Amino acid sequence: MKLKIIIPSIFSFDLKIISKDIEKILSSQEANAIHFDGLDGLAELKNLMEKYKTIADIHSLTDRPLEDLKKIIKMDMNLDVRLAMHLETKTDVNEFINLARENNISPGLAIKLSTPITEKFKSYSEFDYFHLICNGEPANLKAFQYSVFEKISALRSIIPDAQITLDCGIKEEYITPAVNAGATNLIIGSAIFKNINPFETIKKFNRMIHKI
């Protein structure tokens, strides 16, 4: 299944409050994936996501992404799953990719804003996608940083057909420049679910993208 550009994120939201909004978004096909930071909420939304054939887009936040991968495998979910491990962990890249593929899980590589894109990334071309973080918590850069666009260009110069997901702090005003810069997918949480009408908000965002 091809991912739609916008992937709603449930990070830090109470599922009891937003579950109806999530179902309306999925049932209307305004999105066909949900983003999870870690595994929180995955079990709770499993049945709903299976109902609408939703993709689970998961960002492993631990230093042991293989453990997250094994937990996901044990969940035996009847839906498409993709999981991004952090480059900054000491995880064996090939072991992660092979185990993911053996279990029909799409492997991704998450990259912090502070991590430089170098020629060594040619060796990471086996990953299905790259998950770029748009802010830098260690440097107290909690807002979206336009410097992530430079990382897109750098990555594409090394892996031209890279599938690139942007995450953290994406607001309405960043959607068009992000897509124009070459982002494949945009993970958006607060700009959708903190709005008074999340469904109409994501509809608006999708219309914006269709005009680009």
Which phi and psi (to 5°) does residue 85 adopt?
Answer: -95, 155
Mean pLDDT confidence for 147-151: 94
Q: CA-to-CA distance for 171 and 54, rounded, in angstroms?
A: 23
| Alpha-carbon torsion, ordered 9, 168, 13, 66, to 10 deg | 70
CA–CA distances in Å: residue 150 to residues 68, 115, 141, 147, 183: 30, 12, 16, 5, 11
Q: Is the pLDDT of residue 139 over 90?
A: no
In sequence order, what are the beta bridge partners of 86?
110
Domain 10-207: CATH superfamily, name plus number:
Aldolase class I (3.20.20.70)
Mean pLDDT of the chain: 94
pLDDT digits (tens, 9 = 90+) for 51-100: 999 999 999 999 999 999 999 999 999 999 999 999 989 899 999 999 99
Question: CA-CA distance, 159 to 54, in Å (whole number)?
Answer: 28
Residue ranges of domains in the chain:
10-207
